Amino acid sequence: ADGTAAIWDTAQQTVVERLFCGEKTQVYAGEFFGGQSTFFATAYDNVLGIWDIQQGSHEIRRWKFHSRKPKIQEAPSQTLSPSEKGECFVYGAHLLKSSNSNNDDNVFAVALSDGSVCVVDLRERGAFPALRWQAHERYVSEISGGANFSSLDFFANTVVTSSGDGT
C-alpha cells in the first residue's frame, strides 16, 4: 500500500489525481459527495479525511479516531488485536441523506475497528465526532443507510451495520 487513493478517468483508464491518505497506509474506502467535487477516504491509520477535488489534492478536514476499548499491556508471549492496543481503524463511511434541506450532505456515519459507529458532522468544528456508540463486539466492516424511504424522516436517522462478530 502506498498510502494514496487514486481517482481514475474510466474512459482513458488513467489516474488523474492521487490523494495522499497516510504514510504507507492501506486505504479502505472512498466516496464522492457534494456534487462530485468533494471526496472522503478512510484508511488503516485511524483517519477519515475529506478532500476538495476541485482545488487539487487539498485535504480540507481530518478526524483521527481512538479505540474506546481499554488498552491492554501486551505480554511477551501475547499477540493483541489493534483495538486492544488502542488503535481504531476506519473501515468505512457513508454519507447520510435526508429530506431535510438543512442537511446539505454534511453528515457521515463511520464504521470503526473497535466495534463502534460514530456520526461526524462537517459543520462541527470540534476534533471529536458528534455522536458515537458501541454497535458490535468486534469491528464494524460495513455501514450504510440514511436514505429517506418514506414521507417520514425516520430512515434519515437510521444506519445499517455488519460486523466480524456475525451480526
Confidence of residue 71 (pLDDT cuts 50, 70, 90): low
- The string of pLDDT tens digits covering residues 116-161 is 998 888 777 665 666 889 999 888 988 887 654 444 454 456 788 9
Q: How far apart are CA 74 and CA 126, in angstroms?
A: 32
Above pLDDT 70, what percent of the chain? 70
CA dist list (Å): 137 to 40, 66, 111, 162:
26, 16, 13, 11
With 0-12 CB in 10 A as exposed, 13-18 as middle and 19+ as buried, what is 100?
exposed
Enter the pTM of the model. 0.75
- The string of pLDDT tens digits covering residues 91-115 is 888 887 655 555 456 778 889 988 9
Q: What pLDDT does 34 receive?
A: 65
- β-pairing, 107-112 vs 4-9, is unpaired
8 Å CB contact between 85 and 70: no
